[in-house]
Amino acid sequence: MEVGNQTLIKPHVAVLPSVGLGHLIPLFEFAKRLVVHHGIRVSLLVITTNEPSAAKDQFLCSPNFPPDLHIVKLPPVDVDQVPRDDKLILTRLCVITEESLRFLKSVLVALGKPKALVTDLFSTRAFDVCNELSIPAYLFSTTSVAFSAFMLYLPKLDSEVECEFVELPEPIQVPGCTPVRIEDLVDQARNRKIDEYKWFFHHISRLPLASGIFLNSWEDLEPGSINSIEENPFFKQIPAPPVYPIGPLIKQEETLSTADFECLEWLDKQPPDSVIFMSFGSGGTLSVEQQTELAWGLELSQQRFIWVVRKPTDAAGAGTFFNSGSEVNDPKAYLPEGFLNRTQGVGLVVPSWAPQVSILGHPSTGGFLSHCGWNSSLESIAHGVPMIAWPLYAEQRMNAALLVEEIGVAVRLKVEVGQTIFGREEIERVVRMVMEGEEGKVIRSRVKELKESAANALGSNGSSYYMLSSVAQKWKTDLSL
């Protein structure tokens, strides 16, 4: 575009997700929104490894990328050289990310030193590189605002509490926010002696170094937490970086396979709001015993369903975090004998992966049994679908508490005294409650309100659009790139 004799060059911004689809998807949507709505050129820097991830590969092969969004793959990390412990997902993620970011400086220089870099929590090494190159570095929080507030408060908590946090007699009071029950505490903060906590603490202690924090939420969803970070004296004293609620940024489109189309065709034949969708995210897995109880509870509920199933494992709740979509999976080998025959026509079992956004947006979908990852939670709310909260790992228990008790769009299962898993009777009860009961009607009404609110926030007159536009305008003020 030319004005007089001058050619205006669009500002160039780099966006850097850490490892995992849960980080890649929202930062990709953020990048796409910068390009499409705010006139920014974006280089999406992708961490790669020699470990296959069919779901990630499919996601990055979309033919619908806007012209000014470019994928730049960082040199691959040999994960065979990274110690593996399925119980220590975060440690492995951070080591892989650190190894990959050894190449970041040369990549940014080769790109002509972008106007800014936006990364997520586990890539804060990028702050140091950006400081060397005089590039402003922003953080994109892939979690709730409530959890972001908890992270900003954690260094103070760490300095004042001598015992393990799980030994505290009372909930943790984050200034201005809803208290965090000890049983809901994020996994990485339950033992301060291990590497998981040390990595987590290392990154969250660097949050004040960011030029700003983008929050994947919006004012109507978490007004109390947003107000606390902006106005509470504690956060002003840190000082917390400026925060920009710009959500919900969720996956907008999917590349559909033949199996995906068959799944959606099955949904087309079901009555409105009659199907419960069940999925535990890109990395979630259940134990053998728990998966069996879920199958029986679902069958007893007599509800229509789509269930994304994975091979059970007793090793961890995130068994497919690093290779989502690549695992070998035959549901007949581990579901209860006769389950597939008895539920034929009532339900649909999908191995490993399903088009979640398309399913949640379908009028026949009436409920979502979810692990409460923040991306999935936002997708459910943005499509007006009430949830059953079934958290597995990381901060998902804190998300579940937020969704049930503060936002009011979910119900939570209960474990019987002396048990460690959800029984089939409890699963049957909660599924029926959401799909048929009065409590289900209440949360359905609430989530429909928030669906409309989410759309308004992202609209050209909405609060989230305005927040992102204000930062994009800063990046446009200096066009000598």
Active site residues: 23, 120
DSSP-assigned beta bridge partners for residue 180: 172
Give the Cα separation of 404 and 400 in Å (integer): 6
Helix (H) or strand (E) holding 411: strand 410-412
Going across the sheet that includes 243-245, the strands are 69-73, 41-46, 12-16, 116-119, 137-141, 213-215, 243-245
**8-state DSSP, 235:** H
Burial class of 189 by CB neighbour count within 10 A (0 to 12, 13 to 18, 19+)? buried
Provide CB contacts within 8 A for 13, sequence distance 6+: 34, 40, 41, 42, 43, 114, 115, 116, 117, 118, 475
Place of tokens 């409309």: 452
Going across the sheet that includes 304-309, the strands are 347-351, 304-309, 275-279, 365-370, 387-389, 410-412
The two three-digit tokens of residue 252, written as one number: 């907008």
Give the Cα separation of 113 and 39 in Å (integer): 18
The two three-digit tokens of residue 318, written as one number: 């995130």
Give the Cα separation of 140 and 453 in Å (integer): 22
Phi, psi angle pair for 353, to nearest 5°? -150, 140
Place of tokens 């947003």: 226
Q: Is the torsion defined by CA of 203, 208, 212, 218 positive or negative?
A: positive
The two three-digit tokens of residue 55, written as one number: 């779901």
| Nearest alpha carbon to residue 38 among 456, 469, 461 | 469
DSSP 438-463: HHHHHHHHHHHHHHHHHHHHHSTTSH
